[in-house]
Structure 1
Amino acid sequence: MIKQVELVLKPYARGFHLITNEVKAALPKLPETGLVNVFIKHSSAGLTLNENADATVRDDFETVFNKLIKEGDADYKHTLEGLDDMPAHIKSSLVGVSLSIPITDGCLNLGTWQGIYLCEFRNYGGPRHLVVTIYY
């Protein structure tokens, strides 16, 4: 069987944001076992799993990504949507737009220190739309 829900995240500032609780709140009752796929419907934001306890990890992600992919590079051709747009597309491709998380005993089977991150790469990205598909 397959179930699917869509949710809209409030606009977040640029950066890496822990959204695990928002995703869990949108889920129906989960089966005992299965798989959840979380997909973001945007090309300038992404999703990843990482540290859920220390917020400085998310700050460091932002620092490293900004060092790796610089804004205002003279070689960029796609520039009409702002200096943050082309770098956002590249960053999104690096982290990806979907996650697969196992379901065990009716819960997302995340590691002790794992959380779902919204990776917002635009200065003003606006609301972000997620599709969550549950397979069982």
Structure 2
Amino acid sequence: MKSRSRELTYSSSAEVELIDVTEDVERAVRESGVRSGICLISVPHATAAVLANEHEEGLLTDMIRIIRELFPRDREYLHNRMDDNAHAHLAAAIIGSSRSFPIVDGRLVRGTWQNIFLVELDGPRSVRKVVVTVVGDGDGD
């Protein structure tokens, strides 16, 4: 059984932003040598998330709009008494900090219209990390 982790680094340019990380995640899976297993994509941040959905500009705009509507920045959150980003913490908690996908024949199994996104909820930030952990069997295991 193999286990490999890779840390990917991104920067965001907006308060709420969807950054497509699919290509980098797929490269990490290929380079891991795992042929059959699981890929976990996670963010070690309390104000960022991971989601899987279609990369279509209208849908991405809709998702950002819904996030802003469901978690408005200007609401009177108790957390804002110490830090002005409760909206981002709440959105991250609901969306989730990780996603997992199966690996079959050395490839990430995802739907035709499923891309993987880092969701920035408290940007812009110069550094956001995505941790890709691949576990499974490889050639010769």
- One fold, TM greater than 0.5? yes
Counterpart of 1:71 (choices 66, 70, 73) is 73
Q: CA deviation at 1:117?
A: 0.9
The Cα shift of 1:26 comes to 3.8
In structure 1, what is the equivalent of residue 105 of structure 2? 105
TM-score scaled to structure 2, two decimals? 0.85
Matched letter for residue 12 of structure 2: P
Q: Partner amino acid for 1:70?
A: P
CA–CA distance in 2 between the matches of 1:29 and 1:71? 40
Instruction: Name the structure 2 match of 1:47.
Output: 50
Poorly superposed stretches of 4+, deviation over 4 Å = none
The one-letter amino acid of 2:100's match is: S
Q: Is the 8 A contact 2:40 2:100 kept in 1?
A: yes
In 1: Cα distance, 2:46 partner to 2:61 partner: 22
The equivalent of 2:96 in structure 1 is 96
Residue 8 (structure 2) pairs with residue 7 (structure 1):
yes
Q: 2:60 corresponds to which residue?
A: 58
Count of aligned pairs between the two proteins: 132
Q: CA RMSD in A?
A: 1.6
More displaced stretch, 96-105 vs 65-74: 65-74
User: Structure 1 residues 68, 11: closer, same or farther in 2, change over 3 A?
Assistant: closer
Quote the residue 1:16 is aligned against.
Answer: 18
Say which SS state the counterpart of residue 64 (structure 1) adopts: helix
